Chains A and B, each alone.
Chain A
């Protein structure tokens, strides 16, 4: 046995010796000196492979500058895409988004046919393995598989034993990580059976790369990805079924949220978190504005053991208590079935070739990288002298050691490793070391150029009524350096779009990406999402109000008359009360704009707006999203640049105005939109009423400069000038802001707008609207409140009190809305009793 083992190893090592590469290439493309790797782009003689011809010619014909521009364009597009969005928005942070490489990976039709068939076959095999593991366990009884691989795996879910997956598949979505060996064959290096990630990235990558090579992608008849997502959707969502399909995510603070949100939109599913769902009577329901709605399909993006704190891991706050019992009752389809993560271990790989024949009656088409589980006695003795040629990996995700490359260990370290493996053989797996293939990737270093990088590729399959369908494309990853044999995008690597060429014109009949249809109904929106949209509306408006407040105050600061009249002091005091300046010390207006240490300052509200946008991401357009994300980015970048504060405020106003425009012009008028608009209107009413009542209730009446400042903040300067053609007076300002129902920046207009939004909410228990004080305001005598005598002051104060009453009424209404409609995510606590 040991002899055969070593022979197998030697054989593959011989394959690695290839003719020395000596051909000249375009200077820009620096090629690897190492000859023991397969080159994706060039053959052994250095000529481009046939299917790379067009792309390599295009790249080779370009100047360095043109290539660098393309790389910049990719960086910009992927930063805007939002898929890569970094919640913490820290430009120097360790978790900055990984890059998309501008050059795609090209795969020809014949080769893809082989990969596609192999991946679909492997999905079938893994699905059958799961059915056996959670069913009859004939594979253990017959000795074809060691039971230890399941029983010792933390993702083997005992409560799932004996369950039958609704819909018939254990494995609905599968991904295989592939690597190309030096002999040109593709090998499977890992199986993703739980909630394979990256599908959203693959789609997003295609969108970006297609914009860089619009002609080429058509000329080459690159296979579109859209159909795959339609098939995915159709396979999972039964439109005739009486229930919703949702995607279960771990929430906006966890990795991958953006991808989940993107994918959910592509598939037309609602994106929900664990406590948006509830179990009643062996069924799952979504909490919506209109009550509980039955859920029949859950695409989960969270790990097996975290899905149900009742029966699985009790410390999980992400799951749905009772979900396992709904699965047992067959009342919900979970993709992938709970427990499917047990196959995520390299240990299974060595056993799979022998399982293919008995389980699916075929032999395995795609080889896995040669793998041995050390729990097998014969393996343990065979590896004693070969450890230095192998990679040693944990068999279970709970193991407390990382993968090791035997060739990098000293003799002493190897001895220690042998001892460790002998003590606990079952938790170790050894694998042949794979020399990954290389392809060109862009580097910005040394003026920019193409450098060789090692590559792996993730290929996706979904279960449909007609068997497993494979996405005609993939998510490729390239390592950060030329000879890494582990590709980890988080560690500085980047991703690549993968172009699968069509074998016939038929396959590429529609080059334009066809988008899956969106099937969700707005009334089914989760209460949480409605709440997110409401707060998104409030924060958009709050940011705009504070930008205007700061800008108007900056404008006033250069007016010497303002200082003399005391108006400046009034403005600064009010700005302090609204939280945009530090409570004491010098005003330092410009520095305050981006100061994150002012608790209610503008910078913090911009960050809050971005946070709300993160949570409402699935409802915002790409433009809205890009606008918010740019806005937040500029506040972070200009933190120490007070000199440009005025420009930043101007730019912010443009951005916020654009957002308001997108909201009005681009969003469907559903419940979410209504709440978003209510949020905006409520916020603006509260802000304006607060500001005006403070000015009206002051001891003396507002000066002309203060009134001008108020109009500036209320964005009504131009209207005022056009209408009254004079310096602002209290009478004219009152007329415009508190009396005129046609001024969208005035209180009467806002009160009516709130009324309209309110009328769309069908609820008997709603409070009275508008507040009675609103009608009283209209009875004010505009000339009387201007008078600087006792009667005039009393009338002005009365008006101030009425405005304040409107403010109180608006706030009470907002409180009622939130109490009545929003989920107050109740704490979910595990309890145990002995």
Chain B
């Protein structure tokens, strides 16, 4: 095990580089991914290391970018698409939802679409309503797409390698605020894969189960650390892949703690995290609950531009801490 502490941007770049080295059919395309190094610096020096044939700068035309990638994938390539902001996937949605997701199934499995679509999402950068959304439920509700939401550099690297291996489309949603933050855990050297569809129990406790996605895993971790000092211990579960979703660890944990809180940044209404609640409510673990399920999620509003309002629109550490205390204190 290495002790390298990378940022998520570095870890993603490392995974892409390993895939580039492993397979000549892997290439990257997107707006400003080449000479500029990516809007968030994720591709960095890859243009210079791999050249303009494998790191393609594209016009500002998301539908065309994804369409080209789908076509390349059908032709035996393994494209990695970077969409500059996940909000812009709306432009490309026909290629994503109606082509990439469906082709394998509509042709009886005769063809594959081994494409990865990476894109940054989330609020906190002061970029306002059209550049701050969390759109994971769009993708998670389309059968045929796998959806990955990494919360840390080590997972991002291992999951991205598996996503590139996958014979059909994977949507890879990276939170912008995580790009520049080193993870808590070192990133292993080499091509270590993390399988898709396996939830990670980040830490174990006895009083409360928190299921969180993306950046909310980090915020929940902070809360768990703080409350542990007071004797409230939390099991924190990061699904990592939200489609397919691995609920096993959630059921197991809730059967021990009896309390469940779910946390996501995206809006509460019809949000992905509701799927966790629904599956638990319909499972035999339901009878283990000793408290109502608590949901913390973004408000049902477009992300505001004003920094204070932007912050107030999504769960913050204090919100998670207060909710965790309340559920443990009130329900015994």
Do the two chains bind?
A: no
| Chain B residues with a Cβ under 8 A of chain A | none
| Chain A residues with a Cβ under 8 A of chain B | none
